[in-house]
């Protein structure tokens, strides 16, 4: 949904999930005990032998929230940023960091979340963590008094995007927004590079296997058309030499 808004309006996309390993490395460098403990665990220890409280602690939910604020503060102020991710702290709203009129939390109903996790084949351990995080985030959002939209499967993605647009309409009208195809291309390339960096960051862990360059990611089409929000699956390593382009969109890409 954030990607659709970014493409449609010419916004800079910040996805917290693409910073997971950067944030974990920062936590390790800072000596955060929970980060060191998680890295030293085997997958069985992380997901089968850990309590929910232990998994919440090693998820670095609160520590990463502070890092997200630092990341956002370091980005250019133009164009507007659409930031998304479960670690974005609702407590930032109303503290001069994020305006209440520009923030909305999408909360899955428990039934919808369980259906989604089952459909993805999510193992029991991570499913327990995600369920606990949903409850934690909902409580944080309620305390902060932010806009919340319940996602239960009764509305399409387009309908929920429209509901979000209604809430942040004032900010979108004020801008600033990227207005040219070239500006939009630059923003989409930036988002794609962050996605590729996430793949490389994961495979750089000593316990991770596989070739990061061969890891297929869903990159945003870089044609620069404001009406385009297509995703292009391709190996992360291919991003270095080519621009992701949806079928029929190649002709819109200028030569470098």
Question: Residue-wise pLDDT tens for the chain (256 aa)?
Answer: 999 999 999 999 999 999 999 999 999 999 999 999 999 999 999 999 999 999 999 999 999 999 999 999 999 989 999 999 999 999 999 777 788 999 999 999 999 999 999 999 999 999 999 999 999 999 999 999 999 999 999 999 999 999 999 999 999 999 999 999 999 999 999 999 999 999 999 999 988 889 999 999 999 999 999 989 999 999 999 999 999 999 988 645 444 3
> Do 213 and 113 belong together in one domain?
no
Domain boundaries, position 185: 181-252
Residues 153 and 187 in one domain: no
Give the end of a domain, one of 119, 153, 174: 174
Question: Where a domain ends, among 174, 195, 216?
Answer: 174
Number of domains forming the structure of the chain: 2
Final residue of a structural domain among 151, 174, 197: 174
Structure tokens at 37: 């403990």
- If we measure between CA atoms, which residue out of 197, 203, 248 comes closest to residue 227? 248
Enter the pTM of the model. 0.93
- Give the three-state DSSP class for 112: helix
Whether 248 and 127 share a structural domain: no
**Residue 227 contacts by C-beta under 8 Å, 6 or more apart in sequence?**
8
Q: Are residues 40 and 129 in the same domain?
A: yes
Q: How far is CA 139 from CA 109, 135, 199, in A?
A: 13, 6, 31
Residues 143 and 168 placed together within one structural domain of the fold = yes
Same structural domain for residues 137 and 214? no
The single residue listed with the structure tokens 């808004």 is 5
Residues 205 and 170 in one domain: no
């Amino acid at each position: 949904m954030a990607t659709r808004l970014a493409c449609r309006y010419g916004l800079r996309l910040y996805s917290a999930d693409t910073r997971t390993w950067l944030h974990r490395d920062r936590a390790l460098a800072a000596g955060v005990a929970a980060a060191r403990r998680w890295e030293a665990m085997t997958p069985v220890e992380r997901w089968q032998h850990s309590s929910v409280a232990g998994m919440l602690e090693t998820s670095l939910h609160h520590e990463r929230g502070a890092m997200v604020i630092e990341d956002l503060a370091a980005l250019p102020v133009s164009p507007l940023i659409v930031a998304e991710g479960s670690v974005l702290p609702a407590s930032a709203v109303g503290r001069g960091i994020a305006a209440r009129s520009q923030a909305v939390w999408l909360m899955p109903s428990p039934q919808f979340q369980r259906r989604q996790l089952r459909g993805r084949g999510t193992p029991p351990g991570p499913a327990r963590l995600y369920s606990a995080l949903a409850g934690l985030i909902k409580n944080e959002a309620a305390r902060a008094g932010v806009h919340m939209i319940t996602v239960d499967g009764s509305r399409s993605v387009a309908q929920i995007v429209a509901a979000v647009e209604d809430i942040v309409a004032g900010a979108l009208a004020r801008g600033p927004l990227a207005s040219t195809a070239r500006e939009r291309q630059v923003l989409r390339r930036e988002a794609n590079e962050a996605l590729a960096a996430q793949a490389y960051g994961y495979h750089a862990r000593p316990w991770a296997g596989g070739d990061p360059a061969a890891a297929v990611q869903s990159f945003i089409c870089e044609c620069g058309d404001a009406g385009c929000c297509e995703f292009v699956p391709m190996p992360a390593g291919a991003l270095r030499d080519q621009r992701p382009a949806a079928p029929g969109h190649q002709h819109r890409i200028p030569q470098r």
